[in-house]
């Protein structure tokens, strides 16, 4: 009887000790930072993990980025997307099926402002291989007739996508968002509770900072002057920006950028310089950042008003007006003047 009790006490004691050791390890390693930078998907990416499992998690993260780059790159002859474009479709892998389904959802929600079948137009402008040129208007008009995700036939059961003749896809407007979502998951699976991904200005936060405070994410200014549009204090979110200043070329004094209005075939110019989307869904955030840029100020605001549960946004207009949706009140701060967009439209 006595012996039994002694064993029980020892057992509980050792359990407490291992608990303490784990806790101690968490405390010691909590602020340990592991960071790696790589170039992938045409941009610089930085992966940061805090805490005990950082090294392994960052290595896995880099592998995942490279795997998705290999799968989705239109520039590579070996990628799945290239094979789909060359063969007029095929059976999709799990990642590509998810991306196609999300892309179609965004296409439908945004009434075609987001359309991954934009690829032939991107090629005509030379955005795909940096042989930039301004295409003939007639050519663009011909090409945009084929830009229509709803013309593709997709069997979700067996993940079979059939693309009509001359229809080609490019996940460039959604791939980085999806990559950050996947990479964050891979890192969480490794035990990471706090971390940050920066995929060419598209940020994804894992949890909070090791000290329990919120992360500070600066929103880049299109002016490239080192200034920021503002700072967001948030955790566990994706912050994804589309801007006309990201990728462009100049010809005869005119600037042409890489976000195309599918209704015209020309770079979207509906009054916005940059769109930042804040959402828990990084993939959707990426699609919407591109789509809202295409929509322009007024339409973007009405779109947000019907999707307030899904995302918030920071918009910069060509006039230099900074617009911030209501949900970010408190999280957003800026030295510039800004205007809060309310959920309910002002009745004047």
Interface positions with ligand ADP (CB under 6 A): 114-116, 118, 122, 127, 170, 172-173, 176, 242, 246-247, 258-260, 262, 286, 289-290, 294
Q: How far apart are CA 277 and CA 319, in angstroms?
A: 20
Report, in Å, the least distance between residue 136 CB and Mg ion. 27
173 is a site residue for Mg ion (CB under 5 A): yes
Report, in Å, the least distance between residue 135 CB and Mg ion. 22
Report, in Å, the least distance between residue 123 CB and ligand ADP. 10
Report, in Å, the least distance between residue 58 CB and ligand ADP. 22
Q: What is the 3-state secondary structure (H, E, C) of the chain?
A: CHHHHHHHHHHHHHHHHHHHHHHHHHHHHCCCEEEEEEEECCEEEEEEEECCCHHHHHHHHHHHHHHHHHHHCCCCCCCHHHHHHHHCEEECCHHHHHHHHHHHHHHHHCCCCCCHHHHHHHHHHCCCCCCCCCCCHHHHHHHHCCCCHHHCEEECCCCEEECCCCCCCCHHHCHHHHHHHHHHHHHHHCCCCEEEEEECCEEEEECCCCCCCCEEEEEECCCCCCCEEEEEEECCCEEEEEECCCCEEEECCEEEECCECCCCCCECCCCEEEEEEEECCHHHHHHHHHHHHHHCHHHHHHHHHCCCCCCEEEEEECCCCEEEEHHHCCCEECCCCCEEECCCCCCC
User: Quick one: 69 or 286, whose CB is closer to ligand ADP?
Assistant: 286
Backbone φ and ψ for 272, nearest 5 degrees, come out as -110, 145
User: Quick one: 34 or 283, whose CB is closer to Mg ion?
Assistant: 283
Residue 168's binding partner, choosing from ligand ADP, Mg ion, none, with beta-carbon cut-off 5 to 8 A by kind?
none
The residue whose Cβ lies closest to ligand ADP is: 172
User: Quick one: 110 or 289, whose CB is closer to Mg ion?
Assistant: 289
172 is a site residue for Mg ion (CB under 5 A): no
User: Quick one: 49 or 229, whose CB is closer to Mg ion?
Assistant: 229
Report, in Å, the least distance between residue 140 CB and ligand ADP. 13
- Any idea what the Cα angle at residue 81 is, between residues 148 and 238, rounded to 5°? 80
User: Quick one: 192 or 203, whose CB is closer to Mg ion?
Assistant: 203
243 is a site residue for Mg ion (CB under 5 A): no
Report, in Å, the least distance between residue 258 CB and ligand ADP. 4
Report, in Å, the least distance between residue 135 CB and ligand ADP. 15
**Binding to Mg ion in span 248-307, by CB under 5 A:** 286, 289-290
Report, in Å, the least distance between residue 170 CB and Mg ion. 12
User: Quick one: 92 or 190, whose CB is closer to ligand ADP?
Assistant: 92
Q: How far apart are CA 246 and CA 275, in angstroms?
A: 12
Residue 69's binding partner, choosing from ligand ADP, Mg ion, none, with beta-carbon cut-off 5 to 8 A by kind?
none
User: Quick one: 141 or 213, whose CB is closer to ligand ADP?
Assistant: 141
Residues near Mg ion, by CB under 5 A: 173, 242, 286, 289-290
């Amino acid at each position: 009887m006595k012996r039994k009790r002694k064993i029980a006490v020892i057992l509980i004691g050792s359990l407490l000790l291992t608990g303490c050791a784990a806790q101690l390890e968490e405390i010691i390693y909590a602020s340990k930072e592991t960071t790696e930078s790589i170039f992938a998907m045409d941009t610089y990416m930085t992966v940061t993990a805090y805490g005990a499992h950082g090294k392994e998690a960052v290595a896995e993260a880099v592998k995942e980025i490279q795997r998705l780059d290999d799968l989705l790159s239109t520039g590579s002859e070996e990628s799945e997307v290239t094979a789909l474009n060359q063969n007029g479709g095929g059976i999709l892998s799990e990642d590509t099926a998810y991306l196609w389904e999300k892309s179609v959802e965004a296409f439908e929600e945004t009434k075609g402002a987001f359309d991954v079948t934009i690829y032939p137009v991107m090629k005509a402008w030379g955005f795909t291989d940096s042989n930039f040129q301004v295409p003939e208007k007639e050519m663009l008009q011909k090409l945009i007739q084929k830009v229509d995700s709803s013309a593709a036939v997709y069997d979700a059961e067996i993940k079979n996508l059939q693309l009509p003749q001359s229809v080609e896809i490019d996940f460039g407007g959604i791939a980085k968002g999806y990559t950050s979502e996947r990479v964050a998951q891979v890192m969480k699976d490794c035990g990471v509770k706090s971390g940050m991904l920066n995929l060419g200005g598209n940020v994804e936060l894992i949890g909070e900072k090791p000290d329990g405070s919120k992360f500070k994410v600066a929103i880049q200014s299109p002016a490239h002057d080192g200034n920021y549009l503002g700072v967001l204090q948030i955790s566990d979110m994706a912050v994804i920006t589309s801007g006309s200043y990201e990728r462009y070329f100049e010809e005869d004094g005119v600037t042409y950028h890489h976000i195309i209005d599918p209704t015209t075939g020309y770079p979207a110019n509906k009054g916005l310089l940059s769109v930042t989307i804040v959402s828990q869904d990084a993939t959707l955030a990426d699609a919407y950042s591109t789509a809202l840029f295409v929509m322009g100020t007024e339409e973007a605001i009405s779109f947000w008003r019907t999707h307030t549960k899904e995302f918030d946004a920071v918009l910069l207009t060509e006039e230099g007006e900074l617009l911030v949706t209501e949900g970010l009140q408190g999280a957003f701060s800026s030295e510039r003047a800004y205007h809060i967009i309310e959920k309910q439209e002002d009745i004047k």
